[in-house]
Structure 1
């Protein structure tokens, strides 16, 4: 909570991360795709806070893929608190090779997986 009794902005980033991790580590792994587990980093976040959120609140995050490039892709999110749109956000994600510490390209199987989640 912040000084005004609202959920702190950092907590929203945690909720978005949880949605992202569920998609790239959970759903992707269940589909047989392990590349994201081997390395992926956030290159950029863009967040629009639309409504303050107070506790208690029922929160839901909707997530989809907005764009797929050669070496990055963009997740888009809408966060609802008590069924009211409270936040819109985007995260640019970059597949990453942890051995070389360098970005890598989106593979064909990764692209096919991500395309299922475009709007």
Structure 2
């Protein structure tokens, strides 16, 4: 963790989703607890996928593309979040495969300029009956293509 957060370039890909850090998200030192970052990212993804009509309401058989499991999570911390308030999560897809995907994220300031944490997560789409990998639907793939980060 560095003393100062890194400055990101203007947002040219993905989506910036507002999130709120509450007082009870902070640890005993007054910092955003490390376990809260992935939770905030998950909430941001849920909000984004809901905009595309992809929802999980507790029924795995009806969940479709929302029936997935995390294969890997990586996160790096750049600077501490030291107060409650408004922040954002920048979300994008790094890779969209047949049954899996890798998404990137940044926990950042509301305008996306300051990065506090960044990472990736790998998801695998599952068949609800067998819990084996299953292909993403074409609707999901179309939404995902809109979120793909340009090759860098």
Shorter-chain TM-score range: 0.7 to 0.9
Q: Which residue of the other structure, out of 97, 101, 105, is the alignment partner of 2:131?
A: 101
Q: Give the stretch that moved more between structures: 86-95 or 48-57.
A: 48-57
Which structure is higher in helix share? 1
The alignment status of 1:40 with 2:64, answered yes or no, reads no
Partner of 1:20: 45
d(CA) in 1 for partners of 2:79 and 2:122?
23
Partner of 2:103: 75
d(CA) in 1 for partners of 2:84 and 2:140?
37
Gaps of 5+ in 2: 1-25, 55-62
* 8 Å contact from structure 1 (residues 64, 75) kept in 2: yes
* 8 Å contact from structure 2 (residues 75, 118) kept in 1: yes
* 8 Å contact from structure 1 (residues 35, 110) kept in 2: no
Question: C-alpha displacement at 1:107, in angstroms?
Answer: 3.1
Gaps of 5+ in 1: none
Partner of 1:86: 116
Return the TM-score normalized by structure 2: 0.67
Question: C-alpha displacement at 1:92, in angstroms?
Answer: 0.6
SS at match of 2:37: helix
Return the TM-score normalized by structure 1: 0.83
Question: C-alpha displacement at 1:13, in angstroms?
Answer: 1.1
